[in-house]
Amino acid sequence: MTELFLQGLWDTIFMTLAATAVAYLVGLPIGVALVVTDDNSIHPMPLIHSIIGFVVNVVRSVPFLILLIAMIPLTRIVVGTAIGTNATIFVLIVSAAPFIARMVESSIKEIDSGVIEAAQSMGASNKTIIWKVMLSEAKPSLVVGMALSTITILGYSAMAGVIGGGGLGDIAIKYGLYHYKAGIMWLAVAILVIVVQILQEIGMRIAKKIDNRG
């Protein structure tokens, strides 16, 4: 039994962290692109901005559970199988990347436009502005966003239990729903709650530590 839970916990954590990491690799640049191509930003490109915004919104508006099922053929092509942790990670990435892009966008937009203008007045290139002004100044907010994204992805990963995605959610569904073992289900849920609390706390602490604004 303990082994089952340890394996479940490990699967959940692995799926969550791996999916978050890759989803950031995809979502962060998209978020930055959304910011810089906006009107009045450092590189306005109205058409590109609308296209990216539209795609992001479409993917975001598909509920995760439906995406999970609808993507089965694609997942099979890309991952080789439509069940298990690796398949789940793939769907998690697709579903979380647009969410992360919007988070990154709103974090960067919190920065006072005057600061960006000051950098422009110094002759900073757009690359410098993105790295040294936008991402650097938004760092605390980005970290909070990352904690939130990780928690959201954790929640989604649990949902993947319905397609036999592995992890604690899988355990909860298998034992709770199919075998009427409520005790096991609640234990899995309790562990999920604790993991979420820990993630949240770590995120907030780091954000507070690196923020020099107050």
Partner 1 sequence: MAEGKPIISLRNVTKDFETRSGTIRALDNISIDIVQGETYGIIGLSGAGKSTLVRCINLLETPTEGRVVFNGESLTGLSRKELNLRRREIAMIFQQFNLLMQRTALQNVCFPLEIAGVKKEEAARRGKELLKRVGLEDRVDSYPAQLSGGQKQRVGIARALASNPKVLLCDEATSALDPKTTRSILELLKDINKEFGITIVIITHEMSVIQYACDRVAIIEAGEIAEEGSVDEIFTRPKTKAAKRLVFPDQEKTDGIVGENLIRLVFDGGASYEPVIANMVIKSGAPVNIMYASIQNVEGVNKGQMILELSNIKKQSEIQLEYLNEQKIAYEEIGEVK
Is residue 211 part of the contact set for partner 1 (CB under 8 A)?
A: yes
Residue list 24-83, contact with partner 1 (CB under 8 A): none
Cα-to-chain-centroid distance, residue 179: 32
Is residue 122 part of the contact set for partner 1 (CB under 8 A)?
A: yes
Amino acid letter, 49 = H
Nearer to partner 1 (CB atom), residue 201 or residue 211: 211
Nearer to partner 1 (CB atom), residue 134 or residue 187: 134
Out of 26, 48, 124, 189, which residue is the one contacting partner 1 (CB under 8 A)?
124
Give the range of 6-14, 78-86, 133-141, 142-150 binding partner 1 by CB under 8 A. 133-141
Work out the number of other CB atoms within 10 angstroms of the CB of residue 57: 11
Dihedral sign of CA atoms 176, 177, 178, 180 in order? positive
Nearer to partner 1 (CB atom), residue 89 or residue 133: 133
Is residue 214 part of the contact set for partner 1 (CB under 8 A)?
A: yes
Distance CA 64, CA 67 (A): 5
How many residues are recorded in the chain? 214
Nearest distance, CB of residue 4 and partner 1, angstroms: 45
Out of 21, 58, 117, 209, which residue is the one contacting partner 1 (CB under 8 A)?
117
Helices (H), 2-84: 2-36, 46-61, 64-70, 72-79
Amino acid letter, 92 = L
Q: Which contacts of 72-80 are long-range, i.e. CB under 8 A and separated by 24 or more positions?
A: 72/163
The residue ranges that bind partner 1 (CB under 8 A) are: 112, 114-115, 117-125, 128, 132-133, 136-137, 139-140, 210-214
